[in-house]
Amino acid sequence: MADRLSKEHRSWNMSRVRCENTKPEKMLRSMLHRTGYRFRVNVAGIPGKPDIVLKKYRTVIFVDGCFWHRHEGCKKASMPKTRRSFWENKFQENIERDLRQTKQLQEHGWNVIRIWECELEKSPDLSLEAVVKKIQEVI
């Protein structure tokens, strides 16, 4: 099946995909701040450049996009119909990188929390409760 968009237009679309300061990240940061947690964002010196770093609790939080990080069973984790082998390789590399980064962080004494974007969209308050509970479990 051919792509309905030209190569240039597809490239333009993909260049608009954000990797930092996404809406789900901003929602979670806002909720955490209101709850009294203080944090840093996108700290480059930490493996994986986590979305949120709670240094006081040695905890990092990643807000993973369902499409890019392959949230199993999520409707947002659909497979593109064109260039299927490219996408399968791309997604597999993303999953393997996530696992590597999580392992590396844990080996350096960090607690790692991963939140799916759809969890924040469906029920922001429940997601915040889950995150706060995970943070409290590690402190």
pLDDT tens profile 36-91: 999 999 999 999 999 999 999 999 999 998 988 898 889 888 888 888 999 999 99
Q: Where are the beta strands (DSSP E) in 24-105?
A: 40-41, 52-54, 59-64
DSSP state of 4: S
Stretch (H or E) spanning 43? none
Convert the pLDDT of each residue in 5-44 to its tens digit: 676 765 665 555 556 678 888 888 988 898 899 999 999 9
Q: Give me the pLDDT at residue 77, please.
A: 85
**First and final CA of the chain: distance in angstroms?**
51
3-state secondary structure of 112: strand
Question: Residue 49: which region, alpha, beta or left (left: phi > 0; alpha: psi -120 to 50)?
Answer: left
| CA–CA gap between residue 122 and residue 41 (Å, rounded) | 23
Question: Measured on CA atoms in the order 22, 74, 90, 98, is the torsion positive or negative?
Answer: positive
The whole-number pLDDT of residue 23 equals: 84
Which architecture, in CATH terms, is 19-138?
3-Layer(aba) Sandwich (3.40)
For the chain, what are the domain ranges? 19-138
Q: Do the Cβ atoms of 132 and 115 come closer than 8 Å?
A: no
